[in-house]
Amino acid sequence: MSQLDEEYTQLLQSLLPPGPAWDKEDPLIKGLAPSLAQAHQHADSLMIEINPAQSVELINRYEKLCGLPDKCLANRQQTTGERQQVLDAKVNTVGGISEAFFKKQLEILGYPTATIEQFQHLDSTPDPSWGDKWRYYWRVNIPAQANVRWMTCISDCPSPIRTWGDSAVECVIRRQCPSHTHVIFAYPEGARDASH
């Protein structure tokens, strides 16, 4: 018998009316105490469920209320921890247009080492002949090993030899990027997303 069970047993015994009608060792009392203790523990666990970042039992309901998984993440398999992280970001992220904001989004999506390059200065642009047009472009560099898929002997004939990229991450960042900018995704070490 747990300590909580014992506490509820003592509480129930103290609530009994005085006199010989009830025996303090009545099996009914000892049978009710574990149920009350279990309800108490469940109420305690529901207090944790209030925070979407820790929710397990109510996570499906939270996701439905927040419109998750959205079109960007609908086909992506996620662990409970990843779902909690995305839900927490959806509920608590204020938004922003800073590099720090987008790096945090990339970290939440599983790429803490991703980097961001801004082409605001002519000396850092990929093609200086574009002049100041580059100030509206920025690049997200995601590790090259992101979802690399090779053609196999059972692939369809028109399948590419190799594809890579994370369409869910690209969708989320594109959806959040400032409307006057254009984001380019790069997968360093010579890899380029086949869709670009």
> Would strands 115-118 and 149-150 be described as parallel, antiparallel, or unpaired?
unpaired
Q: Which residues pair with 146 in a beta bridge?
A: none
Which tens digits make up the pLDDT trace of 137-149? 899 998 866 666 6
The share of the chain scoring above pLDDT 90, in percent, equals 12
Look-up of token digits 């979802």: 147
Please report which confidence band the pLDDT of residue 67 belongs to, taking 50, 70 and 90 as the band edges.
confident
pTM (predicted TM-score): 0.58
Q: Residue 36: pLDDT above 80? A: yes
Q: Residue 170: pLDDT above 80? A: yes
Give the best-scoring range by mean pLDDT among 32-46, 70-84, 108-122, 126-140.
32-46
Q: Which residues pair with 184 in a beta bridge?
A: 139
Give the integer Cα–Cα distance in Å for 95 and 105.
Answer: 10
Q: Which residue has the higher pLDDT, 57 or 195?
A: 57
Which tens digits make up the pLDDT trace of 112-164? 999 998 887 656 667 767 767 788 889 999 886 666 666 677 777 777 776 77
